[in-house]
């Protein structure tokens, strides 16, 4: 047997502790903050309640209708399906066809017209006054010329005429210069206002033409809705696209992307990464509310392409605490290869517990990172990468197991996103997005494995091209 083969077998039969202490076979675990013997200690996972299990909130799906007798969708009309504005904010943004601009222009036109109405009688009165003064001056001029002919030789009349001429000259100068100047200024103001009115009228005419076609949102909301995507599926919403759901009637509805095709559908997409267009290095409040783009439009007029987004910890917690919930995590590398990890039970506790994660019942081919940690590590270093039982952490709220309270040792700050960090991770779906896959410690901001990582499939230094997390109610007879 050759020497290399003997060395390989020797390494393979070593215990995990021996391999951990063997410098030649050790795995670079810098990204996972390995303990240094004698200097740091690691506190095991804190107690966390198990995921919700037991009886599901749904029975098995009804059998499909016979061929030819297709089941009609149960339609739920939204407050206003179209028009320039929507009575419900959940219907999305205002339509882009210009109807709202038309309303604004009409409002401006009304304001300008009221000013013009008040200004016109004043201009007319000024014009009449100017004409009266002008006629009066002309009358004085005529009288003066007549007096000059009659009293040409009279000295007193001559002095009187001189005074009248001075007054006449002053009045004539005023009429010839001051009045026309004021009238020209007013006329200029009036012309400018008239031009503005003409422009407004043209814009309103153009908008009237545009608004002959009923306004539509850029992402039309399907008429079928429900408590969650499973409910929508049972009501007839079989297309994967954006929908409105309302799990609790006491809280407002919100938009989600429903995957109605993967593994019989009914999935609420709670997280999606596909192109790096959305920054996931967010604060606690943003992860609580949710952020990103739910979906994009297509040539068919429906939003059937999911965007990059995080649904929001409040929504995720609410959905998972309604009853037994399963989660499906799908991922893709830069060669197009795909794997998945699925957990039959998945529960996120409320914000009072900092959204503690609880999972069980793994299946799939991506590796059980949530429950077992990173398989390339051993002993305590592997334990530190288990996510089950962890609280949620963001860079402004540190809840991980890596020296709690020390601002220089925060997983979320170093690993690029909010997550259920331990010390620190075997999976980092919300990490920084690296194009092409492989990256190095030198490329990372803090020298740690901060990419979109799933260690049990591609290791620490490979950032995935795409990853998504989907949840739906669990029931055994699916």
DSSP, residue by residue, 385-450: T--TTPPPBBTTB--SSSSTT-TT--HHHHHSS-B--SSS-SEETTSB--TTSB--TTTSSSSS--
Cα separation, 232 vs 242, whole angstroms: 11
295 with 257: CB under 8 angstroms?
Answer: yes
Residues 60/478, Cβ–Cβ less than 8 Å: yes
Of 205, 203, 246, 207, nearest to 224 by C-alpha is 246
Write out the two tokens for 153: 């030789």
Whether 232 and 74 have beta carbons less than 8 Å apart is answered as no
Helices (H) and strands (E) in the chain, counts: 12, 13
Tokens (6 digits) for 218: 């850029």
Tell me if 425 sits within 8 A of 313, measured CB to CB: no
Would you call 306 exposed, middle or buried from its count of C-beta atoms within 10 A (0-12, 13-18, 19+)? buried
Question: Helix 179-210 to helix 99-150 angle, to the nearest 10 degrees?
Answer: 160
- Residue written as tokens 């803090």? 446
Q: DSSP E strands: which ranges in 365-407?
A: none
Asked if 112 and 197 count as a contact pair (C-beta separation under 8 A), the reply is yes
Are the C-beta atoms of residues 350 and 317 closer than 8 Å to each other?
Answer: yes
Cis peptide before 14 (omega within 30 of 0): no
Instruction: Say which residues have a Cβ less than 8 Å from residue 413's Cβ, sequence separation at least 6.
Output: 395, 398, 446
Terminal Cα-to-Cα distance of the chain (whole angstroms): 54
> What b/e string do you get for 365-391 counting C-beta neighbours within 10 Å, with b at 16 or more?
ebbbbbebbbebbbebbbbbbbbbbbb
* β strands within 204-294, DSSP E: 241-245, 254-259, 267-273, 291-292
CB atoms within 10 A of CB 185: 10
44-58+81-90+220-473: CATH topology is Gamma Fibrinogen; Chain A, domain 1 (3.90.215)
Secondary structure letter of residue 227 according to DSSP: S
In 3D, which of 84, 81, 106, 104 has the Cα closest to residue 95? 84
Is-contact 389 399, C-beta < 8 A?
A: no
| Model confidence, pTM | 0.64
Can you tell me the distance from the alpha carbon of 428 to that of 350, in angstroms, rounded to the nearest whole number? 21
Question: Looking at the DSSP assignment, which residues form a beta bridge with residue 393?
Answer: 419
Measured CA to CA, the distance from residue 203 to residue 195 in angstroms comes to 12
Q: Are strands 254-259 and 241-245 parallel, antiparallel or unpaired?
A: antiparallel
Contact 387, 358 (CB under 8 A): no
Burial group, residue 130, by CB count within 10 angstroms (0-12, 13-18, 19+): middle
Name the stretches of the chain with pLDDT < 70.
1-47, 63-108, 147-160, 211-219, 297-302, 477-478
Q: 184 is written with which tokens?
A: 């020209």
Q: 281 and 346 in contact (C-beta within 8 Å)?
A: no
Tell me whether residue 294 is exposed, middle or buried, using C-beta atoms within 10 angstroms of its C-beta: 0 to 12, 13 to 18, 19 or more: buried
Contact (Cβ atoms closer than 8 angstroms) between residue 117 and residue 193: no
321 exposed, middle or buried (CB, 10 Å; 0-12, 13-18, 19+)? middle
């Amino acid at each position: 047997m050759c020497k290399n083969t003997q060395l390989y077998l020797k390494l393979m039969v070593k215990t995990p502790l021996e391999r951990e202490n063997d410098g030649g076979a050790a795995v670079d675990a810098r990204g996972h903050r390995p303990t240094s013997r004698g200097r740091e200690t690691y506190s095991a996972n804190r107690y966390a309640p198990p995921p919700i299990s037991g009886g599901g909130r749904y029975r098995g799906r009804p059998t499909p209708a016979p061929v030819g007798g297709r089941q009609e969708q149960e339609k739920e009309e939204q407050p206003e399906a179209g028009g320039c504005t929507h009575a419900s904010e959940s219907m999305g943004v205002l339509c882009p066809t210009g109807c709202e601009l038309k309303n604004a222009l009409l409002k401006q036109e009304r304001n300008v017209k009221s000013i013009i109405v008040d200004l016109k009688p004043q201009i007319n009165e000024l014009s009449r006054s100017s004409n009266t003064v002008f006629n009066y001056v002309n009358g004085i001029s005529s009288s003066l010329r007549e007096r000059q002919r009659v009293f040409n030789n009279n000295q007193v009349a001559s002095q009187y005429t001189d005074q009248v001429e001075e007054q006449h000259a002053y009045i004539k100068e005023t009429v010839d210069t001051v009045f026309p100047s004021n009238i020209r200024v007013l006329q200029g103001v009036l012309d400018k206002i008239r031009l503005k009115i003409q422009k407004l009228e043209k814009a309103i005419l153009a908008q009237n033409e545009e608004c002959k076609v009923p306004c539509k949102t850029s992402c039309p909301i399907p008429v079928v809705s429900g408590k969650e995507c499973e409910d929508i599926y049972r009501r007839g919403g079989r297309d994967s696209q954006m929908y409105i759901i309302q799990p609790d009637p006491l809280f407002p509805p919100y938009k989600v992307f429903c995957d109605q095709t993967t593994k019989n559908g009914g999935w609420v997409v709670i997280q999606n990464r596909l192109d790096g267009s959305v920054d996931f290095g967010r604060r606690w409040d943003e992860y609580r509310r949710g952020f990103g783009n739910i979906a994009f439009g297509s040539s068919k007029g429906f939003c059937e392409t999911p965007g990059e987004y995080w649904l929001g910890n409040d929504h995720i917690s609410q959905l998972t605490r309604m009853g037994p919930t399963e989660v499906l995590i799908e991922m893709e590398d830069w060669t197009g290869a795909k794997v998945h990890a699925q957990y039959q039970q998945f529960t996120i506790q409320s914000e009072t517990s900092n959204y503690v994660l609880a999972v069980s019942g793994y299946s799939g081919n991506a590796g059980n990172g949530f429950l077992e940690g990173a398989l390339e590590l051993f002993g305590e270093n592997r334990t530190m990468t288990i996510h089950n039982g962890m609280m949620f952490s963001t860079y402004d709220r540190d809840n991980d197991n890596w020296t709690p309270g020390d601002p220089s040792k925060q997983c979320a700050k170093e690993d690029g996103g909010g997550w259920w960090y331990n010390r620190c991770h075997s999976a980092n779906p919300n990490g920084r997005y690296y194009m092409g896959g492989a990256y190095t410690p030198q490329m990372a901001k803090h020298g740690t494995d901060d990419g979109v990582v799933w260690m049990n499939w591609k290791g620490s230094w490979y950032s995935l091209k795409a990853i998504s997390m989907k949840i739906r109610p669990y029931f055994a007879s699916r």
